Structure 1
Amino acid sequence: MDDQLRTVAQNGDIDALYRRFAEDPYVLDRVDQLPITDTPLHQAARSGKPHFEMEVANLKPSLSSKLNLMGLSPLHLALQHNCSHMVRGLITINSNLIRVKAKGMMTPLHYLAEIDDAELLAEFLFACPSSIEDTTVKFETAVHIAVKNGSISALKVLLGWLNRVNKEDILTWKDEDGNTALHIAVSTIQPQVVKLLVKHVNVNVKNSNGMTAMDTFHLQGTMQSLEIGKILSRARAKRASNLTSNITLRDYLSRKLTLIDIRDKYLGIYSRNNRSDIRAMVLVVAILIVTATYQAGLNPPGGYWQDNYKPATTNNGSSSANNTNTSLGQDPRPHYAG
């Protein structure tokens, strides 16, 4: 970015920007050719010029997701400089900017979870629902980050969102050390956070060291952690050694299929317990049963009579219809339906 364009961006002068275009129509294109660079959007974010930011983002949308030499996008800088008008303007133009990964693969959503800005965090989740699945270079979700930084308000928003969109399984995702958010809350002695999490998670998930949250609690050995022990006990948390099954994923996939596995496979249980899929499967099976029963009623299987037949007799006691029925291919013997 040349000095003249930098000054225009710093002042937020939109008229001067278009005068610069009159001199050089390709000035933004040359900036865009560089994969990592300081753009007019970065300068506008630092200077707090939301209108100029929106103008450039509309003219050259690709600049909005570009990182500068510090590894930050314009949206990251706008958040750091508390320019909420600029932040809302950028995500209005392109909500996917919420998923842009800065240095350390930190997204703007992760940053909000870190600083405990619950208001903007909620807006980000509604603007870009898929952003909740993004992880950092340390495999941390926004929940991990909120717990590590004691961001209670942000954590409440995240838990409420995950519950409403049926994605609470994200709470069992593990960071690079194999710890879930619950493991972290226990190890950092945050009873309030533990109390929030146990309502939404499987409290007996093990980390990469084979330890549950209760195992982590027993490693603390401090008076401050006693409350956490009570919370975990009420939530029926157990130590790994007390779990009824310690089967690993490798063991599960290596073993032979059982009758229960086969049943679950064909009833669609493996499709993340999708209730609508299971209901549809039951409905299809019911229809097949009814159809088969109806067809059997219309066409009873061979070996059963379909009508009553009693031939008339002559004076000498013989059947007068024997010859007739035989010629028609019918059984001349008297019989009853069924």
Structure 2
Amino acid sequence: MDDQLRTVAQNGDIDALYRRVAEDPYILDRIDRLPIADTPLHQAARSGKPHFAMEVANLKPSLSSKLNHMGLSPLHLALQNNCSHMVRGLITINSKLIRVKGKGMITPLHYVAEIDEADVSAEFLFACPSSIEDTTVKFETAVHIAVKNRSIRALKVLLGWLNRVNKEDILNWKDEDGNTALHIAVVKYLVKHVNVNVKNSNGMTAMDTFHLQGTMQNLEIGKILSSARAKTASNLTSNMTLRDYLNRKLTLIDIRDKYLGIYSRNNRSDIRAMVLVVAILIVTATYQAGLNPPGGYWQDNHKPATTNNGSSSANNTNTSLGQDQRPHYAGQFGRFWLL
């Protein structure tokens, strides 16, 4: 489309359109020969010029189903720009435009189901009943799309139509993940009304179960769980009450924090890690000292040899133990750290 014709379409100047066609009778034919093109109809849809669009559609009907470089037909663009007069005008000229598949094989009916346009959905169904059978590249029907986007008003229209034309079997059609619209509806309802982070008897949440499915994972259910802020059990914050906290036994971390004077629970992880390393070094050194005390100290289980007169000969000192004396506990401090 040349710049002159584009300007004419932007202004919606019908007289200028006919003058341009008179000057170049094949101008619309050349546009039509292109497999993908931005036509005067596309420009009219963006500019909100329904009368101009209908004139072009009347002169060259085939341009009405042409896709532009964004994968959109003039009817798709008219819907996106809320140009309802152009939408109704185009489907009056050719109701089969409702079945034109744009990018992702999305039809105008799929689009109105997504944005919950109940009135337009009803008009589309009456104008082109077979459009209810169209599926996207993901094998989704308009019902699938309405359910996934919680388009309640449009969904009621679609279900009412299926009931009246006796095509309820479409509800059993499956998308690429093997889900019918009912499957998706049930999952979305449950996610909305239940706690998605409740653990089962094995301590697993719904997200844990989803991850365990491996290659059998249903990606749509995964997306729904993620949007509902579902978490794995390991990522859940503790629901422990103050009573539970005080009743439980001290962990090794608690003992470490207690004797190193770390009371804040909001310390940065790197600081806590550094303190842990220092604590381990202290424990190791103390443990070694307990097992191998320096000269002049005995092990806990040391029994000094006695001489003939009953006195201890250890270290040749006067440190013999009497009957009322107890052995020292040089390794006791090290054992404490190992508890």
TM-score (norm 1): 0.57
Say if 1:309 and 1:335, in contact at 8 Å, map to a contact too.
no
User: What's the secondary structure of 1:199's corresponding residue?
Assistant: helix
Unaligned runs of 5+ in 2: 331-339
8 Å CA contact 2:95, 2:127 repeated in 1 = yes
Aligned length: 330
* Residue aligning to 1:68: 68
CA distance in 2, matches of 1:143, 1:164: 15
Query: Is the Cα contact below 8 Å between 1:65 and 1:97 reproduced in 2?
Result: yes
Tell me how far 1:11 sits from its aligned partner. Answer: 0.4
Classify 1:224/1:295 alpha carbon distance in 2 versus 1 (closer, same or farther; 3 Å): closer
Does the Cα contact within 8 Å between 2:5 and 2:17 map onto a contact in 1? Answer: yes
Change (3 A) 1:333 1:149: closer
Find out whether 1:260 has 2:247 as its counterpart.
no
Residue deviations 1:65-95 (CA, integer Å, cap 9, x gap): 0000000000000000000000000000000
1:95-120 CA distance string (max 9 Å, x none): 00000000000000000000000000
8 Å Cα contact 1:326/1:332 also seen in 2: no
Corresponding residue number in structure 1 for 2:228: 235
Following superposition, the deviation at residue 257 of structure 1 comes to 70
- 1:205 is displaced (CA, Å) by 27
Would you say the 8 A contact 2:114–2:146 is kept in 1?
Answer: yes
**Relative to structure 1, is the Cα distance of residues 227 and 30 closer, same or farther in structure 2, using a 3 angstrom cutoff?**
closer
Partners of 1:57 and 1:271 lie apart in 2 by 73
Distance, in Å, in 2 between the alignment partners of 1:174 and 1:249 is 49
The structure-2 alpha-carbon separation of the partners of 1:225 and 1:93, relative to structure 1 and needing over 3 Å to count, comes to closer
Deviations 1:132-157 (A, max 9, x none): 00000000000000000000001100
Tell me: CA distance 1:93–1:183, structure 2 relative to 1, closer, same or farther (3 Å): same
1:169-318 equivalences under 5 Å are 169-185=169-185
SS at 1:222's partner residue? helix
How far apart are 1:312 and its partner, in Å? 156
* Residues 42 and 250 (structure 1), Cα distance of their counterparts in 2 relative to 1, 3 Å cut: farther
Cα root mean square deviation, aligned:
19.3
In 1, the alpha carbon distance for the partners of 2:169 and 2:243 equals: 20
Residues 44-65 of structure 1 show CA distances to partners (whole Å, capped at 9, x for unaligned) of: 0000000000000011000000
Residues 123-142 of structure 1: pairs in structure 2 closer than 5 A: 123-142=123-142
Distance 2:49 2:160 in 1: 34
**SS of alignment partner, residue 136 of structure 1:** coil
Asked whether the 8 Å contact 2:36–2:66 carries over to 1, the reply is: yes
Alpha-carbon distance between aligned partners in 2 of 1:183 and 1:208, rounded to the nearest angstrom: 25
Contact 2:13/2:52 (8 A) holds in 1: yes
- Residue 195 of structure 1: CA displacement? 11
Do the aligned residues in 2 keep the contact of 1:325 with 1:332 (CA within 8 Å)?
Answer: no
Moved more, 6-15 or 301-310: 301-310
Measured at CA, do residues 239 and 284 of structure 1 come closer, stay the same or move farther in structure 2, by a change above 3 Å? closer
Superposed structure 1 runs of 4+ greater than 4 Å apart: 193-337
Aligned-residue offset at 1:183: 1.1
TM-score normalised over the length of structure 2: 0.56
Judge conservation of contact 1:168–1:200 (CA < 8 Å) in 2. no
Q: Tell me, yes or no, if the aligned pair for 2:45 and 2:78 is still in contact at 8 Å.
A: yes
Q: Which residue of 2 is the match for residue 189 of structure 1?
A: none
CA–CA distance in 2 between the matches of 1:216 and 1:321?
A: 66
- Counterpart contact for 2:45–2:81, Cα < 8 Å: yes
Asked whether the 8 Å contact 2:147–2:184 carries over to 1, the reply is: yes
- Return closer, same or farther for 1:199/1:16 CA change in 2, 3 Å cut-off: same
Give the direction of change, closer, same or farther, for the CA distance of 1:29–1:334 in structure 2 (3 Å limit). farther
Deviations 1:158-211 (A, max 9, x none): 0000000000000000000000011112xxxxxxx7899999999999999999
Identity %: 92
CA distance in 2, matches of 1:251, 1:211: 21
Task: Give the C-alpha shift of residue 239 in structure 1.
Answer: 24
Shift of 1:8: 0.4
Task: Please give the alpha-carbon distance, in whole angstroms, between the structure 2 residues aligned to 1:282 and 1:94.
Answer: 76
Shift in Å at residue 260 of structure 1? 71
Question: What is the CA distance between 1:22 and its match in structure 2?
Answer: 1.7
Offset of 1:21 from its aligned partner? 1.3
- The answer (yes or no) to whether the contact 1:70–1:103 under 8 Å persists in 2 is yes
Give me the whole-angstrom Cα distance separating, in 1, the residues matched to 2:108 and 2:327: 88
